[in-house]
Amino acid sequence: MSGRTSWSIPFLCGGIFGALSTVATVGDSDLFWHLAQGRQTLSEGLARVDQFSWTVPGMPVLTDQWLGQVAWYGAYAGLGWTGIILLRSLLVAGIATLIVAAALRAQPRPIVAVLAALPAITLTRFAWTERPQLMGLFCFTLLLFLLRVAWERPRVLIAVPPLILLWANLHASFVLGLALALIAMVILGLRRAELRTMLAVIAGASLAATLLTPSGAAIWTSASGHFLSPPRMVLEEGVPDVAQPYGVVFVLIILASLVTAALGRPVPLFEVALMVPVLFVSMTAARHTPFFAVASAPYLAARSPEAVAAIAAGLRIRLRLPALRPSVPPVAVDVVTALLAIVAVFGGAATARAAPNLDPYPLGALSSLPSGPGLLNDYDWGGFLIWYAPATPVFIDGRLFPYTGDALRDYDTVVAVGPTWREVLARRGIRTLLVKPGSPLAVRARDLGWSIVSEATRYVVFMVPNSLSARLD
């Protein structure tokens, strides 16, 4: 597509979805430890070892999201919970804007482009969390937009190394972006020999940019670990499940792509290279499903009308889209639309409930938790405790990787009442349990008549009897 592209519709969609995202409550279980780590980085410098748990204190922790954590904490420090909502809605608005813009580049008919972009935006809804992950999705959307523009204007690839540099410091998903950028540059180089030197320099700079992080070369370890061996015990790292709403949307997008490919006109290898590798990554874990949705939106926008027309022809239905492209409005209209979108996002954030939703957390238990080591907490509540009960170090939390090994194994043994659960309680010196009432550990502790310090529908706090450790000793 040549000529100026109107950004009015992308901005409009971005504003709408950005404003809509402010309705979603804040309270992702990992948000709290990200905030705590961001605060620590700003006040004491980058934390390379654990300071929040009593099970792995001093052990190395991942630093691959340090900039994202700082950004989230910065938003919180500046505007409180409203800042978190605002940053999230700005990112959502940015993602929606770029998805629609990419679709409009491929399909000039606005209605078709927006319809094709809607499933992708819908699927990103499952990633509207207050975590660096959302920044990674924004970077991915921006990169794909740049790569598609680069097919006609290769010079825009100059923006790739700085984007990769930023992304590598925000979130580990940069690996996917780098791989895609390299594949795209190879295909572009095969097509246009005169660009090969420039592409080689950009590719080298992009690779080098990934090393400019506090983790250095180790950043690749954590990123590849996530992609190749996702911890399936975490819900979002599970296999995409078509029995869940997000899974239905994901699979329908794959089916739409397949049907479109079968019935639409062929496309260049470049387009295939931007979609097929992303599909594999998306199939590895539920949290990765938005990637393919974003990558396929422009393709669906461009080619799905052909597939629909082919099916309609089979049904003897005459279907013809208007051949005329709509006129591109003046730049002033784009500017006004952008301003309106910003107003909508800021207005939405300003009027949103400026407090996290703590319903899923054991808020009422905080006053009964002892300070110092000795608490065994539910995995899902670790981040919450790091933020709201800093005097009580956690047994485990959503950072997961520092705990891989003995700590995680011991946690699993105790909460599942495994054969050596009492031995672990004694060896670890666990004095207090903060668990869900329906968990096997809570049921067993109640059976044994252990003293309950605090209790509500969602949680129960038990004191571990002193006699337990004495008997085992």
Q: What is the DSSP letter of 152?
A: T
Q: If binding is defined by CB under 8 A, does position 416 make contact with other proteins?
A: yes
Interface with other proteins includes 158 (CB under 8 A)?
no
Binding to other proteins, residues 208-247 (CB under 8 A): 228-230, 239-243, 247
Interface with other proteins by CB under 8 A: which range of 94-102, 174-182, 392-400, 441-449?
441-449
Q: Do 135 and 74 touch, CB atoms closer than 8 A?
A: no
Q: What residues are paired with 432 via a beta bridge? A: 375, 463
Q: Does 319 bind other proteins (CB under 8 A)?
A: no
The least distance separating other proteins from the CB of residue 272, rounded to whole angstroms, comes to 5
Identify whether the C-beta of residue 382 lies closer than 8 Å to the C-beta of residue 396: yes
CB 13 within 8 A of CB 121: yes
Which listed range, 21-29, 128-136, 271-279, 463-471, lies at the site for other proteins (CB under 8 A)? 271-279
> Of residues 1, 200, 255, 472, which one binds other proteins by CB under 8 A?
255
Q: How far is the CB of 350 from other proteins (least distance, A)?
A: 41
Q: Which is nearer to other proteins, 242 or 472 (CB)?
A: 242
Of 195 and 267, nearer to other proteins (C-beta) is 267
* Least distance to other proteins, CB of residue 382, Å: 22
Closer residue to other proteins (CB): 208 or 242: 242
Query: How many residues can be counted in the chain?
Result: 473
| CA distances in angstroms from 433 to 277, 377, 419, 427, listed in the order given | 45, 6, 18, 15
Q: How far is the CB of 230 from other proteins (least distance, A)?
A: 8
Which of 28, 50, 130, 271 binds other proteins (CB under 8 A)? It is 271
Q: Which residues of 362-398 are buried (b: 16+ CB within 10 A; e: fewer)?
A: beebbeebeeebbbbbbbbbbbbbbbbbeebbbbbbb
Alpha-carbon separation of residue 27 from 358, 387, 461 (angstroms): 7, 12, 22
Residues whose CB falls within 8 Å of the CB of residue 253, separated by 6 or more in sequence, listed in order: 119, 120, 123, 292, 293, 296, 300
Q: Would you tell me which residues interact with other proteins (CB under 8 A)?
A: 228-230, 239-243, 247, 251, 254-255, 257-259, 261-267, 269, 271-272, 275-276, 279-280, 283-284, 299, 307, 310-311, 314-315, 416-419, 421, 437-438, 440, 443-444, 447
